Amino acid sequence: MNNAENLASLSKRNPFELFFELSADLLCIAGFDGYFKQINPAVSKLLGYSNEELMSRPINDFVHRDDKEITAKVRAELVKGNPLFHFENRYVTKFGESVWLSWTSMNIDSDKMVFAIAKNITHKKKLEEDRNRLLATMTRVNKELKELTYTTSHDLRAPVNNLLSIFDLLDVSKISDGETLELILILKAASESLKHTLNGYVDILSEKESMNLPVEELNLKEALDIVLQSINSLIKSSRATIEVNFSELPKVKFSKTHLHSIFLNLITNSIKYARTDCLPVISISSKRVNGICQLIIADNGVGFDMENVKERVFGLHQKFNEHADSKGIGLYLVYNHVTSFGGTIALESELNAGSKFIISFKDC
């Protein structure tokens, strides 16, 4: 029979019968005895059984074993006259596969019948399962990272305190060489800065545990000066030039520890990934754009091939350079520092043309 003949044949039939047979949803009529009495083709198509097979066995035979008990309970309530809306359970196909169905059912007590419509939600359930698995993995990784950071920050404080004690034992008045004295003072200042940073990390981890993240109005120059002092030797040895302009926006509302970490990671990255044909130049500025406070940190370094790195640039352990010190953690930390307070970070970059990080704060 050709298509024209099929259409002509269908047009002569009861429209309700056509609706029943052509519906993509599973339409069923079941008896109070627990057997299918009538089903549309969508049921046998999905489950793989013939109509005869489906109607000759109790419906519960086709239900997934882990869902049989709850299905029996809701069916008992349905028979008592309680309509069923969006009940989800699993059926097992003839080929052993599980499919998720969402049922809406109601009974006709006088006829001892149940009328039901089911939608195949297997794809939706698969997406939910994948999402939950991803969330579980992310939660586990986040916990492990937090424990590692806490342990590292806590355990490093002892040797740093020991180093500071050595400086306290030194009688600098007996050191006549000015260059040696300057070096000792620089080392002491760097050690004190490291101690301050480690204490800050321990404090911030404790505050995150209680969901009490400290936000305060910070002077950008003061915050930057603390970081620059801590890496003073690195800046000098790299002969980097740092240009600063906070005139348009001198202050922002943010976490002090996180702002220090952002400055530290982005500045040291700019020095670490400087081009070999020129000295590093790092520009740090702030401005207000359409009411949004922004911090911009730009350099003239090796840059990124944005076509290839795309979203991976802020991922954990993502490395785009063969530098020996590259661990793929710095940008991941910066991204999380910014986004954990509701901000955003964007990157503009080209290979051998430098990088520009634009951080937008949630609050000014």
Q: pLDDT digit string (tens) for 148-165?
A: 666 666 556 656 766 776
Does the pLDDT value for residue 7 go beyond 60? no
Report which of residues 316 and 174 the model is more confident about. 174
Question: What does the domain layout of the chain look like in residue ranges?
Answer: 3-120, 123-212, 214-364
> Strand 98-108 and strand 113-120: pairing?
antiparallel
Q: Which helix H or strand E contains 85, and what residues bound it?
A: strand 84-92
Side-by-side strand order, sheet with 292-299: 241-245, 281-289, 292-299, 355-360, 344-349
**pLDDT band for position 103 (50/70/90)?**
very high
> Is residue 133 pLDDT above 80, yes or no?
yes
In this prediction, residue 18 carries a pLDDT of 76
Tens of pLDDT, residues 308-324: 877 788 877 666 666 54
> At the top level of CATH, which class does the domain 3-120 belong to?
alpha beta
CA angle 194–198–201, rounded 5-degree value: 140
Strands 241-245 and 281-289 turn out to be: parallel
Is residue 124 within 8 Å of residue 100, measured between CB atoms? Answer: yes
Residue 218: its pLDDT value, please?
A: 95
Query: Is residue 220 over pLDDT 90?
Result: yes
Give bridge partners of residue 281 from the DSSP assignment: 241
When pLDDT is cut at 50, 70 and 90, the band that residue 210 belongs to is: very low
Query: How much is the pLDDT for 138?
Result: 82
Residues whose CB falls within 8 Å of the CB of residue 261, separated by 6 or more in sequence, listed in order: 333, 334, 337
Strand ranges, E, within 178-235: 216-219
- Using pLDDT thresholds of 50, 70 and 90, give the confidence band for residue 257: confident
Which value, in Å, is the radius of gyration of the alpha carbons in the chain? 34
For domain 214-364, the question of CATH label 3.30.565.10 is answered with yes
b/e code 295-325 from CB counts within 10 Å (16+ = b): bbbbbbbbbbeeeeeeeebbeeeeebeeeee
CB atoms within 10 A of CB 331: 21
Identify which has the larger pLDDT, 29 or 199: 29
Cross-strand bridge partners of residue 84: 105
Class at the top of the CATH hierarchy for domain 123-212: mainly alpha
Closest CA to 32 of 99, 94, 85, 78: 78
85 Ramachandran zone, left/alpha/beta (phi>0; psi -120 to 50): beta
Q: What is the mean pLDDT of the chain?
A: 84
Residue 189 has pLDDT above 90, yes or no: no
Pairwise pLDDT comparison (21 vs 68), residue with the higher score = 68
pLDDT tens digits, one per residue of 110-129: 889 999 999 999 999 999 98
Cα 173 from Cα 164, distance rounded (Å)? 17
Ranking 46-50, 101-105, 194-198, 205-209 by mean pLDDT, the lowest is 205-209
Residue 134's contacts (CB-CB under 8 Å, 6 or more residues apart) are none
pTM: 0.51
115 within 8 A of 106, measured Cβ to Cβ:
yes
Confidence category of residue 285, pLDDT binned at 50, 70, 90: very high
